[in-house]
Structure 1
Amino acid sequence: MSSTTEDADADAGPEAEGRPSLWRNREFNLLWVSQSLSDVGTAMANLALPLLVLQLTRSPAQAGAVGTVGLLVSLACRLPAGVLADRLDRRRVMIVCDLLRLLAYGALCGAVAVGAAGITLVLGVVVVGAAANALFSTAEHAAVRALVAPAQLSTAVARNEARAYGTSLAGPPLGGLLFALGRSWPFLGNAVSHLLSLAAVVCIRTPLQRPRAVPTESGRAAGAEGVRFVLNNPFLRALLLIAAPLNMAFTGMLFAIVVSLQRAGTPSFVVGLASMIFGLGGFLGAFAAPALQRQLPLPRLLLVLCWATTGLMAVSALFATSVLAAVPLALAVFLGPTANAALFGYQAAITPDHLQGRVISVILLVATSAAALAPGLAGLLLAHLSGTTTMLVFALIVAVSACAATFSTGIRTMPDH
């Protein structure tokens, strides 16, 4: 193990040992529940917001702009969020974020209910919500290490993966149902979810960070320190090279499948079924993650994930105009939660507590930026190539991750446990 790992282990402190199991860990479960509620509310609002803008403006372009603004704000806030999560009390940061989201979506709910909502208010709420989501999620990721024993980190991340896939499956249908009942209801539901999340976070008693010295460097210097730590660590550099192409490929493949099915005249409910099959693969994979981790050490797991995904995406391309294309993709994403749990668990173990937020923000920025480019790339490819060829391009992109996992020194020199 490197000296960096030893420093991180020492930073964890002796009190990290002897933690209860995750199912009996009150503090971890409060944090998990709080973010589960936030995730469901955010998923409901993300579905309802473009629908609301369409009804208000009759403009698909403006409806699309709402999503783009939220994405850009989220990306812009990633690195500053990491600095704040490392400098401020993480529990207080999450409380402030929940308060901001509660007030923003409560105001939107009231405005929609009385017919006073306009595009300016919607964009303001989107900006506040996206910034608060970025900061909350960064602080929450960084806080997990303070609540569980080092040996439980991978399992804790797997639990969070299950939560993410579960809320992505449940949130949009619930948001659509509430919007059909009344345009303000999804935003009321989102506001209530943040109120409940706020209550859960308030009840957390354990400090979510180690004691720190008063920072003397500027925010820019603090952010640069996180970037340097990632770039100077062979494992974290490899993680960026693996995660970015994988995220881009999965997002692009799903987009290409949806467009190809629509081109073929597939009914809308069948198109939705493709997305559900994809999400279900990840949801089931999150539950299988602890058992798979025991069978596959991380270096071997990464090789299996990357090369299997390359082959499965190639198979998926053969069924570009059929909902069956989602099945190989679901099989590929089945291993994703296990890999994420192992990777982020190891990342948390080797990163000192005072750098957790910044390191996580760098990784998430790179991964989400790559995924954000995927729909545009897929659309450009589909404008000139067939669905099958487009999907094969994304399979080749995954091969880049496979080569990184195969030849990277940071992966090959990892402890095989």
Structure 2
Amino acid sequence: MTATLEGPGTTAVPLRRNRRFQTLWAGSAAAMLGTCVADTAYPLLLLAMTGSPTVAGAFGAVQFGASVLFGLHGGAVADRHDRRRILILADTVRLLTALSVALALAAHRLTVPHALLAAAAIGATMAYGGPSRMLALRAVVPPEQLRQALSQDELRVNGAALAGPPLAGFLLGLGRAVPFLALVLTSALALGASTAVRFDSRPGPRAPADGPEKGAAFAGLRYLFAHRVLRDTVLVAAALNLTGSAMLLTVMVLLREHGTSAAGTGLALTGEAVGGLLGALLVTRLHRGLSPGALLLAVAWTGALAFALPALAGGPAVVFAALAVTALGVPALRVMLDVLVFQRVPEEMRGRAMAGTMTLLMAGLPLGTMTAGLLLDRLPAPTVLVLLATALAAALLPLTFGRTLRGTSWTE
């Protein structure tokens, strides 16, 4: 799975001249931007069609449910079948889904069940295409360029998160079908990249028992939790996702109580994407200066402290700053987890390990939002923020004073 050199006996080309990586990266960027546009355009469309916030929210719930439902199986499929074909199939389904919605809108025939089926299809393509896309990007770069490649990939993720929602709103203002025509275009670009680039897409060798083994889809999770450093890293990242999603809802309520306009709230919430973009530029420096354990604890403790900032002064500027500071170290943490998986998980199990990690991280999003909603029904928003910061800090204390993380290194 190397296939990153120009020819036998040659050295690896610079990443910026690696056409296969840059093509796959551009396709992945298009797919991510399309996902972020869809996450905003579909609920807004359903709200306009029905006037029901419940129906509008159902799109995200169905999409998320499909991603979680098929997530672990998607990793198992990536470890057993040709990953390039999986990626092409997922991008094709995404393209056909977007095209069906655009045509239905053009004919004034779109229904709520059709939109919810689209949500399920998008969630499923994320579950099956996600691990294969991640492995594809990593298959076309040599090991020494992995961190640089993953840092560029973080720019894709955070850039799409920053541009997607406002772009969706702008396109929807031009016409109901316009955002979905844009989704057809982004899906076509992703499919074109997946089709154009060839890479070593064969799964790794399987152990004899790995074929019909019951519960094989959970093998990646079992491996992660059997390795102390990987387990602690995944659990801390999941805790950050859970408390971070709870923080987002809480600061929305806090800003509303302070009389902040909807536009002002939206601008304040972009702090997360801005921090992520800046953090993507710091990945290499943070990895050089800190061991994996030190980096994990530094990012997590920074998040715990930043959660409490809006409780002291809840204006939009403070919320923006708190979200930006929280997100600043997240790209380095995600790249660190990716590097550790590639260093310590056997190749034949990486798809399942990545899928298991993605499923755990995604599960924290609705759980955090639900927890925040229950707390906000009973407590003021500043108190909820302090509780979130305290809970995260309490979870970090055993890891901070333990020896497992402090003794980690990049080369072990």
**TM-score, normalised relative to structure 1:** 0.91
* Cα offset, 1:52, TM superposition: 1.3
1:361 corresponds to 2:325? no
Say which SS state the counterpart of residue 123 (structure 2) adopts: helix
Partner-residue secondary structure (3-state), 1:384: coil
Query: Out of 83, 103, 113, which is 1:110 matched to?
Result: 103
Match of 1:101 among 94, 103, 106: 94
Aligned counterpart, 1:224: 218
Alpha-carbon separation, structure 2, partners of 1:401 and 1:222: 30
The residue aligned with 1:396 is 390
Counterpart for residue 183 of structure 2: 190
RMSD between aligned residues: 2.3
Alpha-carbon distance in 1 for matches of 2:139, 2:276 = 26
Matching residue of 2:199:
206
Which of 276, 282, 290 is the matching residue for 1:288? 282
Q: Percent identity?
A: 31
Alpha carbons of structure 1 residues 408 and 78: separation in structure 2 relative to 1, 3 Å: farther
CA contact (8 A) 1:258 1:274 kept: no
In the TM superposition, residue 401 of structure 1 has moved relative to its aligned partner by 5.0
Counterpart residue number, 1:68: 61
Q: Compared with structure 1, are the counterparts of its residues 315 and 54 closer, same or farther at alpha carbon in structure 2 (3 Å cutoff)?
A: closer
Alignment of 1:169 with 2:162, yes or no, is: yes
Which amino acid in structure 2 is aligned with residue 304 of structure 1? A
Match of 2:148 in 1: 155
Deviation at 1:298, TM superposition (A): 2.1
Instruction: State the 1:218 CA deviation.
Output: 2.6
Paired residues in the alignment total 407
Deviations 1:345-395 (A, max 9, x none): 122221121111100111111111012211111111111111111111221
Aligned-pair distance for 1:279? 1.4
Match of 1:274 among 258, 268, 276: 268
* Structure with higher helix content: 1
- CA drift at 1:222: 2.1
SS in 2 for 1:397: helix
Match of 1:328 among 319, 322, 327: 322
- Please, which of 225, 234, 249 is the counterpart of residue 255 of structure 1? 249
**Aligned-partner Cα distance in 1 for 2:135–2:398:** 26
Q: 1:200 to 1:183 in 2, by over 3 A?
A: same
- Where 2:377 maps in the other structure, the secondary structure is helix
CA distance in 1, matches of 2:213, 2:181: 36
Asked if 1:129 corresponds to 2:119, the answer is: no
**Residues 261, 323 of structure 1: 8 Å contact kept:** no
In the TM superposition, what is the alpha-carbon distance from 1:13 to its structure 2 partner? 9.7
Q: Per-residue CA shift, 1:249-282, capped at 9, x if unaligned?
A: 2221122111211232211111011111221111
Q: Decide whether aligned partners of structure 1 residues 268 and 157 sit closer, same or farther in structure 2, where only a CA change above 3 A counts.
A: same
Q: Pick which of 314-323 and 369-378 moved more.
A: 314-323
CA contact (8 A) 1:246 1:401 kept: no
Paired residue secondary structure (1:218): coil
2:368 corresponding residue in structure 1: 374
> C-alpha separation between the residues in 2 aligned to 1:152 and 1:405?
30
Name the CA distance, whole Å, in 1 between partners of 2:270 and 2:252: 12
Cα offset, 1:220, TM superposition: 4.3
Contact 2:304 2:389 in 1 (8 A): yes
Q: Kindly indicate whether structure 1 or structure 2 has the higher relative contact order, using CA contacts under 8 Å at least 6 residues apart.
A: 1
Corresponding residue to 1:302 among 273, 291, 296: 296
With 343-352 and 190-199 compared, the bigger mean Cα shift is at 343-352
User: Aligned partner of 2:331: which letter?
Assistant: P
The 3-state SS of whatever aligns with 2:211 is coil
Moved more, 151-160 or 330-339: 151-160
Q: 2:39 aligns to what?
A: 46
Q: Per the alignment, do residues 150 and 180 of structure 1 end up closer, same or farther by CA in structure 2, a change over 3 Å counting? A: same
Question: Could you tell me which residue of structure 2 aligns to residue 7 of structure 1?
Answer: none
Please show how residues 11-50 of structure 1 align to structure 2 within 5 Å: 18-50=11-43
Q: CA 1:33 to 1:401, structure 2 compared with 1: closer, same or farther past 3 Å?
A: farther
- How far did 1:143 drift? 2.9
Decide whether the 8 Å contact of 1:73 with 1:131 is kept in 2. Answer: yes
Q: Structure 1: which 5+ residue stretches go unaligned?
A: 1-10
**SS in structure 2 opposite 1:269?**
helix
Alpha carbons 1:145, 1:348 under 8 Å: kept? no
Q: Secondary structure at the match of 2:270?
A: helix
TM-score (norm 2): 0.92
SS in 1 for 2:370: helix
1-side partners of 2:386 and 2:38: how far apart?
Answer: 33
- Structure 1's 184 and 404: CA in aligned 2 closer, same or farther, altered over 3 A? farther
Distance 1:67 1:13, change over 3 A: closer
Aligned residue among 76, 83, 92 for 1:83: 76
Post-superposition CA distance 1:163-212 (Å, at most 9, x none): 10100111111111111101011111111111111111111122134553
Q: In structure 2, how many angstroms separate the alpha carbons of the residues matched to 1:298 and 1:236?
A: 10
Asked whether the 8 Å contact 1:246–1:397 carries over to 2, the reply is no
CA separation in 2, counterparts of 1:92 and 1:182?
A: 35
**What SS does the corresponding residue of 1:411 show, helix, strand or coil?**
coil
Give the unaligned 5+ runs of structure 2: none
Query: 8 Å contact 1:261–1:271 — kept in the other structure?
Result: yes
The answer to whether the Cα contact below 8 Å between 2:269 and 2:319 also exists between their aligned partners in 1 is no
Superposition deviation, residue 292 in structure 1:
2.4
Aligned-pair CA distance for 1:56: 1.8
Whole-Å separation in 2 of the counterparts to 1:214 and 1:295:
38
